[in-house]
Amino acid sequence: METIIMQVFNGISLSSILLLAAIGLAITFGLMGVINMAHGEFMMIGAYTAYVVQNVFLGIADGAAFGAYVPVAIVASFVVAAALGLVLEKLVICRLYGRTEDSLLVTWGVSLILQQAARNIFGASNVGVEVPGYMMGSLQIGNVYLPYTRIWILVIAVVAIVAVYVLMFRTRWGRNIRAVMQNREMASSLGVNTRRVDGVTFAFGCGLAGLAGCTLTWIGLIGSSLGQDYIVNAFMTVVCGGVGSIFGSVFGAGFIGIGQSAFEFATDASMGQVLIFVCIVILLQFKPKGLFETHNRSLED
């Protein structure tokens, strides 16, 4: 029973990382119809931002003060990834609206450029981020040990999804985003600045990817190929839950994260990934638009 609880917790932890990565994809693809193959590289950007912030704090602080780098790294990872995402949208993405196939090829090229840039700046070797003392160890509940790092990741994911929900369904900006997703021409005729909505929303999605990358630094080494390890699962999360659906992304992340963890426990890591993809293929045979199908004109076109 203790082992089962640990596996479920690990699956939930993986789900929370996938959710942070996928929710930005769900919003931007549903809004713009752009397949952003460089989304994983924004996770890499967030991870390297956390690495830089840690090195700065190593030089200016020690002891308990060093632990203050974590909130700074969280904010910086989001801001840096969002800022670079906004630049990418203004320079490249804005010319690809309605051109899904072209967006796939162009953003794949952008991903290769970003990977090479990371190698030139930080080197080809993987680097690690030191975890502060209050994030070390595990929470003991009976005979079950839950790592504090994964608990923190889960808390950050919950806070992020609540923030996205409030933004999308409790603010004027979120209403504008949903209006553009439903009918871009009508929203524009009613005074919504669709170009501004596109740019800021794309940047917000990239910022969430950067936040996901920051959390990844606490559970393993990071390198220029970090995003490639998660981008496929992030896309599958969006497709499984339903393109453009925030609640679908939550379900898709849980389905893939917990399912993959369970399959890996029953078999091995490689076979676990194969089995979860088989399950997704079977699911899409019956629900080709995902479990939480979103009805709007931009997606139907």
Question: And the tokens for 71?
Answer: 């909130």
Return the number of other C-beta atoms located less than 10 Å from residue 228's C-beta. 16
Q: How high is the mean pLDDT of the chain?
A: 84
Give me the number of domains the chain comprises: 1
The pTM of this model reads 0.88
By residue range, what is the domain housing residue 198?
2-300
> Crossing angle for the helix pair 269-286 and 246-266, nearest 10 degrees?
140
Question: And the tokens for 299?
Answer: 């997606």
Collapsed DSSP state (helix, strand, coil) of residue 142: coil
- pLDDT (tens digit per residue) in 253-293: 888 888 888 888 788 777 888 888 898 888 888 887 777 76
In percent, how much of the chain has pLDDT > 90? 19
- pLDDT (tens digit per residue) in 50-106: 999 998 888 776 666 777 889 999 999 999 999 999 999 999 888 887 777 788 889
- Which residues lie closer than 8 Å to 93 by C-beta, 6 or more apart? 32, 34, 36, 103, 107, 198, 202
Q: By C-alpha distance, which of 115, 51, 112, 43 is closest to 81?
A: 43
Q: Residue 300 above 50 pLDDT? A: no
CATH of the domain at 241: 1.10.3470
Collapsed DSSP state (helix, strand, coil) of residue 224: coil
- Strand segments, DSSP code E, in the chain are 138-141, 144-147
Q: By C-alpha distance, which of 297, 19, 269, 48 is closest to 180?
A: 297
pLDDT computed for residue 110 by the predictor = 92
pLDDT computed for residue 301 by the predictor = 47
CA distance 136 to 256: 27
